[in-house]
Homo-oligomer: A and B are copies of this chain.
Amino acid sequence: MPAKNAFYAQSGGVTAVINATACGLIETARKHKNRIGKVYAGRDGIIGALTEDLIDTSKESAAAIRALRHTPAGAFGSCRYKLKGLEENRAQYERLIEVFKAHNIGYFFYNGGNDSADTAYKVSQISGTLGYPVVCVGVPKTVDNDLAVTDCCPGFGSVAKFVATSMREAGFDVASMARTSTKVFVLEVMGRHACWITAACGLAAEAAGDAPHILLFPEIVFDQEKFLARVDATVKRYGYCAIGVSEGIHGADGKFLSESGLKDAFGHAQLGGVAPQIANLVKDKLGYKYHWAVADYLQRAARHIASKTDVEQAYAVGKAAVELALKGRNAVMPVIVRKSDKPYRWSVEAADLKDIANKEKKMPRNFITADGFHITEKCRKYLAPLTYGEDYPPYKNGLPSYIKLKNVAVKKKLAASFKI
């Protein structure tokens, strides 16, 4: 079989290690030039495929591709753009296949979350019926850690390391000044429905009295009275109170506390700003001096403190995606399988995309303490290994040195353009 080209796209919110996956994928593909010709990347994700705006990764040096391993965010651009259902918009899928055919693309690697797993699955199904079979492999990525089947999701471990470290550091800060200054500190982290990132803040607390003292999860209905009583008791006992809060917490009415009225491309409410609300509530009802922080993109882009485990897993799923494709495995995703907690051991295996597509892995209730305000030992045992190890980027002039690729466009071959 003559070599076919491959198409790789990054999808949805980027992470500190999604480029490490790109690195693993491209480096592995380059070792199999007899089977895989060029790796094309979609400029701005799947939009690049639909608009025939492909990037020729073969124009990048080996050093540039290697540097992807330590560079955060999406080197080829990502997008929030969900393909509709086959019945609703068959034209999108036909266009994809048309572009793949025009560029002799026989492999489709889609690096994203559950939506992207669904898209990759649909493309795998339709490509055959359209007479141009493409091997479709999903590649896991999401800071939300909510993909089904896989033990964890590349991208999450590094966020976990950042938020736990930040919580510990801010906790030390507040503790040392609480007598005359801030008594309540609130750190807001990402997480709409699944509270994995909020839970990761909890790793900072290893002994009684350590920050954080309270975690507010989206899965637990926010009970103002109970919360305020806990804050007050904590300040009285330890002199201060550090709180980790998910942007997605909501009251008994089911409404997000922070709902801003804006919606993103998927129709999800745009959140942000619950930390100041919580802080003001504390000030208003208890009178304590407060400070608050909103980590926002800082948490998911913090490659400078990436988890080595996360980087290795991100690279490994990229590598495995190519190896699976070369074995002709279609409609699968390489996933992380946990072999042991202590010592932490893991491997990469293949799972069917249809078991992952559109599913959301919730955090088990027994990962949250009975009172709803912290994580259990079971949760800690699961989370901690994902933060193990450091993998520092190189520095230049005092700052991390990240790569910007040339991103040379592939010459278009189709006459028709496509409206997004």
Contacts and interface: CB of A to CB of B under 8 A. Distances in A.
A68 B170 CA distance: 16
B305 A73 contact: no
Nearest to A43: B179
Interface string A262-276: 101110001111011
B79 A170 contact: no
Interface in A199-256: 203-204, 206
Contact of A392 (B47, B206, B392): B392
Number of copies: 2
A261 interface: yes
Interface string A167-205: 011101111110111000101000000000000000110
Contacts of A302: 166, 169
A165 B392 CA distance: 13
Contacts of A264: 181, 260, 289
Nearest to A181: B80
A294 B293 contact: yes
A187 B301 CA distance: 13
Main secondary structure of the interface of A (DSSP, over half): mixed
Contacts of A169: 16, 72-73, 297-298, 301-304, 400, 402
A78 interface: yes
Contacts of A76: 176
A298 B176 contact: no
A71 interface: yes
Interface in A277-318: 277, 279-280, 283, 289, 291-298, 300-305, 307, 309
A402 B167 CA distance: 13
A16 B166 CA distance: 12
Contacts of A387: 397-399
Contacts of A177: 13-14, 73-74, 77-80
Given A181-B79, A181-B265, A292-B294, A273 B271 contact: yes
Given A271-B273, A304-B305, A297 B179 contact: no
Contacts of A16: 169
A289 B265 CA distance: 11
Contacts of A73: 169, 172-173, 175-177
Given A169-B73, A203-B398, A272-B280, A291 B301 contact: no
Interface residues of A, number: 85
Which of A13, A260, A271, A280 gathers most chain B CB within 10 Å? A271
A278 B271 CA distance: 10
B389 A390 contact: no
B301 A297 contact: no
A317 to B, nearest CB: 19
A301 B170 contact: yes
Contacts of A292: 272-273, 294, 296
Contact of A273 (B176, B276, B385): B276
A297 B291 contact: yes
A352 to B, nearest CB: 29
A369 to B, nearest CB: 20
A81 interface: yes
Closest 8 CB pairs of A and B: A387-B398, A74-B176, A293-B296, A271-B276, A73-B172, A169-B301, A173-B301, A79-B180
Given A166-B298, A273-B294, 16 more contacts: A14-B177, A73-B177, A74-B177, A77-B177, A78-B177, A79-B177, A80-B180, A165-B399, A166-B302, A169-B304, A169-B400, A181-B264, A261-B265, A271-B273, A276-B276, A392-B392
